[in-house]
Amino acid sequence: MPSAKVLEQKQAIVAELTERLKNSVTGVLVNYKGINVADDTALRKELREAGVQYSVVKNTLLSRACEGAELTGLQSDLTGTTALATSDEDYAAAARILANYAKKSKTFEIKGGYLDGEVVDLATIDSLAKLPTRDVLLANVLGAFQAPIASFARAIQAIVDEGGVEECLAKKSADAAPADDASSEEAPAEAPAEEAPAAE
């Protein structure tokens, strides 16, 4: 029978895991079987740089934490070796990084996960994995905002290059003038043709 000190340590781990599950926006469970030390180190570094917390966990302790965090749907995935990757802000980072690694390995696999406190299926995790990174999304949004501004700036620059607003307006008036003169000259030419029969 475990000592009181061991029980206390396990309870502390379960409490910590429970809070981690509750406070994260997303989490992914993986079977890390077959990963070597070098790959594990590289994987942990990539996850850490993306703001993802990754750790190997005991199934029994994580199962209790899932109860506390109301994620009991994950308990069926707690078999074999288990590692937990959680993120407090980025919804896609853990899924993207782990899915990319799983493609290269025959034994490393994603077992399950959750999103905003709800257990999700593997198809949803796969969809998350395909989302672009936060930096790419921000760049796309920024590009969308900059496009109208860039067009406006080019139009203003064209006006400046042509000598300013007054000169542009004067040029536009000058360009429009010949069309007006042509129409005024045509009107008198038609008048005599109409008057000729009346004179006879």
Structural domain boundaries in the chain: 4-131, 137-199
Decide: residue 2, CB within 10 A, 0-12 exposed, 13-18 middle, 19+ buried. Answer: exposed
Token pair 């990084």 in the structure block, residue: 97
Cα–Cα–Cα angle for 119, 125, 126, nearest 5°?
155
Structurally, what CATH architecture does the domain formed by 4-131 represent? 2-Layer Sandwich (3.30)
pLDDT in tens, the chain (200 residues): 668 888 899 999 999 999 999 999 999 999 998 899 999 999 999 999 999 999 999 999 999 999 999 999 999 999 999 999 999 999 999 999 999 999 988 889 999 999 999 999 999 999 989 887 666 555 656 666 666 666 666 766 666 666 655 665 566 666 665 544 444 444 454 444 444 454 44
